[in-house]
Structure 1
Amino acid sequence: MASSTHQTSRGLPWLLSLPALALFLALLAIPLVLTAILSFNAFDGMRGIQQSYGFGNYLEILLDGYYREIFLRTGGMALAVTLICIVLGVPETLILAKMKPVWRGTFFVVILGPLLISVVVRTLGWSVLLGSQGVVNTVLRGLGLVDEPIRLLFSMTGVIIVLTHVFLPFMVIAVWSAMQRLDGQIEHAARSLGAGPFTTFRRIMLPQLMPGILSGAIIVFALAASAYATPAIIGGRRVKVVATTLYDEFFNSLNWPLGAAIAVLLLLANILIIVGCNRLVERRFKQVFA
């Protein structure tokens, strides 16, 4: 009797997780598997998707310099957005931690504001700001910093600016969560023992904030690498990234197998880069701060 009760208690967590597992399989795992299977289908411009299978789509992507350039451009864009979010997000979170609770709540609302607005509406607003006659160029010319409008719209620079604005809240949230686990007395103890502000931050606070920075960087990189609306609206046809190329293959060329192969490679590249960088950074910081 006791044995059966013990087995039931052990199986209860699995039983309770079945609805969530079924939802996960239905909404994520099954579509991914079907997309992976579709990526192996052959495609004919006249007859559409063929029932023959092979690695032709993957070979076309890997051997064609056009697609390699798009993947490298997308990786560089995502890396730039991630680094800028780290540089801006960590000090911003430290400043928030020093604020009084009333001001802290107000500034949190301001920082999280971009997440409360539709991505399309937000991006269209940025397209007005970054245009040749937009607010940014008007201010720069009014201050005498430039003589002619800077091309920010339909450029990679504009895309990076807008993506940074969109994804900075994710970095702030991740670093803030790590900061809540810090013991403020350790910082005061380090300062009382003669450590300066920079040394205290580098030797005491930064190692403890690294889990939050890493998690925020992973989130920002993955979202930036797969972003579609912002590169499509701000970058236009001039800036081709993986997401916009994927859209073109599915809805313009109607080459679904090639589009599916691009999607699978984007997913695999994201996973490999994120896992590799995570392990590399963790190993380096263990060596430095050990």
Structure 2
Amino acid sequence: MTTTVTQEGTPAGAPPSSRPARKPRRDQLTMLGLTVPGLLGLAVSFLLPLLWLFRMSLNRGDSSGLIVEAISLDSYGQFLGDPYYWKMAWETTQLGVGVTVMTVLVSYPIALFLVRTESRFKGVLVALAIAPLLTSSVVRTYGWLVLLGNQGVVNSSLHSWGLIDEPLALINNKLGVYIALVEIMMPYMILALLAGFGRFNPELEHAAASLGANRWRTFWRVVWPLSMPGVLTGALLVFVLTISSFITPRLVGGGKVFYLATEIYDQATATLNWPFAAAISFILLGLFATVIVLYQRAIRRIEAQ
């Protein structure tokens, strides 16, 4: 009987050596070694401050700034037991949803145009679309104060054209906050949509047209479903940034519009009630977590189709 020997000297048909199993284990150790610095940085910069904030929310505080070390849920009970804060949380959610919807409506046509255009200036147009990110949101907010003020560009133009007799109230209210936040969030939405359009194949539109679908039907049955991952990603990003924004509601709202982010600032700096500010922060974080869970479920449902 003849036994065939492989190049490594192992007889054919013999059980494989255990040496190849060491390579995956070595790769796992390498990946772990590369991951540990990032995990340590994340723990120091995010996890530890988050734990400190949660511990602060369990203390007791008052308007005098006195913080009493304790393990208490009084701050959470103060928030959940007051209809004023429930209303504020609801209005914060409305702000996030409203700004997100309007940002999608305004940004979607721009992103779709940037994807479809064959102009040699396409790169320049994309750069111009996201150029506002190079400017501080504080500067852009002050710019909206100039544009929307009683003597601003918008009211002055409408008055000179004879369309209004009295200046429109476009600042120091919710309307101004919505307008400013939509413009500030547009670059983030456009970037997310451009990434989402990466899976879009123009040939699918031609196929739908060849089957008799008009432009609207092609858009709703082909283009829109394929762009949903990008829309959902942009919506998540815009919603989270909107409900956590402080500068724009504070400045454009003129101190007359109150959301959770502005209330956290007031409790921490004006009232000096740090435990209550920390509790509101964690409630806002819970709202973030809820939206992320809904986003993940929506993405899984889309991928399963």
Q: Give the alignment's TM-score, normalised by structure 1.
A: 0.93
Of 21, 25, 28, 1:7 maps to 25
CA contact (8 A) 2:65 2:273 kept: no
Q: CA 1:190–1:5 in structure 2 vs 1: closer, same or farther (change >3 Å)?
A: closer
Shift of 1:258: 0.2
SS of residue in 1 equivalent to 2:70: strand
Residue 201 of structure 1 aligns with an amino acid whose one-letter code is: F
Structure 1 residue identity aligned to 2:72: G
**Residue 40 of structure 1 aligns with which residue?**
58
State the one-letter code of the partner of 1:115.
L
Equivalent of 1:74, from 76, 82, 92? 92
Instruction: Name the SS for the 1:102 alignment partner.
Output: coil
* Structural mapping, 1:19-34, within 5 Å: 19-34=37-52
Distance in 2, Cα, partners of 1:53 & 1:37: 8
Higher helix share: 1
1:189 corresponds to which letter in structure 2? A
SS across alignment from 1:60: helix
Residue of structure 1 aligned with 2:108, choices 61, 82, 90: 90
Provide, for residues 62-100 of structure 1, a one-character-per-residue CA deviation record: whole Å limited to 9, x for no partner: 111221121111111111110001111112211222323
Superposition pairs for residues 92-107 of structure 1, below 5 Å? 92-107=110-125
Cα pair 1:232 1:244 within 8 Å, conserved: yes
SS of residue paired to 2:199: coil
What is the match of residue 223 of structure 1?
Answer: 241
CA distance in 1, matches of 2:158, 2:224: 36
* CA drift at 1:272: 0.7
Q: How many equivalent residue pairs?
A: 287
Structure 1 residues without counterparts, runs of 5 or longer: none
Q: Structure 2 regions of 5+ residues with no counterpart?
A: 1-17
CA drift of 1:282 comes to 6.4
Residues 131 and 137 in structure 1, CA contact (< 8 A), matched pair in contact too: yes
> For residues 144 and 94 of structure 1, what CA distance do their matches in structure 2 show?
36
What's the counterpart of residue 221 of structure 2?
203
Q: What residue identity is the alignment partner of 1:89?
A: S
C-alpha contact 1:44 1:50 (8 A) present in aligned 2: no
Give the counterpart of 2:170 among 152, 170, 181.
Answer: 152
Query: 8 Å contact 1:214–1:278 — kept in the other structure?
Result: no
Q: Deviations over 1:156-209 (max 9, x none)?
A: 111111110011111111111111221111111111221111111111111111
Once the two structures are aligned, what percentage of the paired residues are identical?
34
CA distance in 2, matches of 1:105, 1:154: 38
Q: Distance in 1 between matches of 2:146 and 2:272?
A: 32
User: Aligned residue for 1:64?
Assistant: 82
Q: RMSD of aligned C-alpha atoms?
A: 2.0
TM-score scaled to structure 2, two decimals?
Answer: 0.88
Partner of 2:283: 265
What residue number does 2:193 align with?
A: 175
Match of 1:190 among 208, 212, 229: 208
Q: Which has the larger Rg?
A: 2
In the alignment, what sits opposite 2:11? none
